[in-house]
Structure 1
């Protein structure tokens, strides 16, 4: 059985919080959707029989105002077509890089009440994901 990664575990979140909070960050997002969204039975969307992609669009619409308010922007997005290097079963449906003015802004977003209400759509939508914190750097020649 493949391990799923939907929400950060406590150790990863604590490690995130231990890094500098006053610097810009970029978050690489890789997301694989469920075929059918899985909402809590008492959620308003539970009876709608949404796909994972549809539920993720609900997440974007509901969390977008909070993301914008804290200064977040999507600096790149794409539709993954093929994993050329990596496990063949590591299929992603969407990939994007979100930029935050500071790590503190990201933490403000994920603790906001409106965001917490929106995240249920993400949890319903996502089969597995990767969220990788990156420190932006100046463009330079070469890859490293």
Structure 2
């Protein structure tokens, strides 16, 4: 059995993202599954260092963090996966977090930044699978409704 994995958005999903309003705050749920051994392209400065996927993702965080901060991004929540309660059997993640951007334009500014484009190589090398889900912020409260 082969399972689909997702590191980058499909053209259709990215177009749907681009079609949504760009002038409102957004929250992005990130789910991460790291490779045992990071897979860098041949010739990359970190190729052959024997880094774990988690270590390569830490490098992504270090190199993309200043750009994320510059566009106004913040981390609202971060956690380590424990177990799937509702969802497909066998689906698991290492880590998850929710990033907030002042608007979708800030997200686009980040991913178009030349330094970010260099940093994202670390993310690609680090992950065997991921999810990135956009949400419009809602109101917090005590109930589920």
Q: TM-score range by the shorter chain?
A: over 0.9
- Structure 1 Cα separation of the partners of residues 29 and 95 of structure 2: 11
Matched, 1:93 2:94: yes
**Deviation string, structure 1 residues 54-99 (Cα, Å, up to 9, x no partner):** 0000000000000000000001000011111112321100000000
Q: Which residue of 2 aligns with 1:25?
A: 26
- Cα deviation for residue 141 of structure 1 reads 4.6
TM-score by length of 2: 0.96
- Structure 2 Cα separation of the partners of residues 138 and 60 of structure 1: 28
- Structure 2 Cα separation of the partners of residues 114 and 12 of structure 1: 24
Equivalences, count: 144
Q: Which residue of 1 aligns with 2:107?
A: 106
Q: Which residue of 2 aligns with 1:60?
A: 61
- Structure 1 Cα separation of the partners of residues 140 and 17 of structure 2: 24
- Structure 1 Cα separation of the partners of residues 51 and 140 of structure 2: 41
Q: Which residue of 1 aligns with 2:140?
A: 139
Q: Cα RMSD (Å) of the superposition?
A: 0.9
SS in 1 for 2:3: coil
SS in 2 for 1:46: coil
- Structure 2 Cα separation of the partners of residues 64 and 139 of structure 1: 27
TM-score by length of 1: 0.97
- Cα deviation for residue 140 of structure 1 reads 3.8
SS in 1 for 2:133: strand
- Cα deviation for residue 7 of structure 1 reads 0.6
